[in-house]
Amino acid sequence: LAQSADIKVCVDSMEGVRQLQKFRSEDVKSLKVLIEINTGMNRCGVDNHQQVAELMELISAADNLSFHGFMSHSGNIYGAENIRELHDIAIDEARHMHAVAKYWRNRGVTVNTVSVGSTPASKYLNEISGIDEFRPGNYVFNDFIQVCLGVAEIEDCALSIISTVISKPSAGRVIIDAGSKSLGLDKGAHSKQITNSFGFVKEHPGAIIERLSEEHGILRVKDSNEFMIGEKLIIIPNHACAVTNLFDEALIIKDTQVVDEWKITARGKVK
């Protein structure tokens, strides 16, 4: 991998650096290390300059490691209550990281990379400065969570699940053949909840995918007469990242034609 990619790793603990000290490779003489900073997500990342100083000292003492810069992830943005809050979290992350880099540069440290970001924060890229790298991931597809947050429109969502109506047991209930194995269980990112539906049904925007079994989706609808058994429904999933990882292949559609089929090669790699 090192022959085709510029690999960087991130740490936020002394134990993490000690583990990296054991790393030896013919291809990578000096492994580039980023220190992760907590900018409010409260997942990984260090909280103060003292912790950074201790990590830097250990990294520079290792002959196989080189300090490369700082990274953060503004995943807390998925809990934003409104556009104002979304904007402020994006700007705060960048400001925070810019200030950390400045603090260390003022002390003579070479900071090569300041890496931040998330898909919702990328909406405010034009207001952000002092940053070298931005890492939106979901951005390639967008999904219903991004729509609910207000950073994308349904037309911006590139990934969909095609399901089939298999039953209409009552006037207000329609059953499809897509359940948790296809749509996933997320109703928001990072365990947040932003929608009450397990996806957005494109042709029937009022339908709520209320419950999921593994292979069944239970839709609450106004009038099941508007649905036909056998009808195909296009569903924008709530969380495109998790849904992509549920399938072996994706059909590539241009206009209405299937033009290719791609293997999802990164799937099933968690060991």
Min CB(181)–ligand PLP separation in Å: 22
Using CB under 6 A as the binding rule, whether residue 150 contacts ligand PLP is answered as: no
Tell me the closest approach of the beta carbon of residue 138 to ligand PLP, in angstroms: 4
Selected range binding ligand PLP among 136-144, 169-177, 198-206, 223-231, rule: CB under 6 A? 136-144
Q: Single out the residue of 135, 173, 192, 211 in contact with ligand PLP (rule: CB under 6 A).
A: 135
Q: By C-beta, is 135 or 211 nearer to ligand PLP?
A: 135
The residue (of 151 and 219) whose beta carbon lies closer to ligand PLP is 151
Q: Is 118 a residue that touches ligand PLP (CB under 6 A)?
A: yes
Residue count at the site for ligand PLP (CB under 6 A)?
Answer: 10
Piece of 51-59, 132-140, 228-236, 252-260 that binds ligand PLP (CB under 6 A): 132-140
Q: Quote the least distance from Cβ 71 to ligand PLP, whole Å.
A: 7
Please identify, using beta-carbon distances, which residue of 118 and 160 lies nearer to ligand PLP.
118
Buried b (16+ CB within 10 A) or exposed e, 214-228: eeebbbebeebeebe
- Under the rule (CB under 6 A), what is the footprint of ligand PLP? 73, 75, 118-119, 135-139, 241
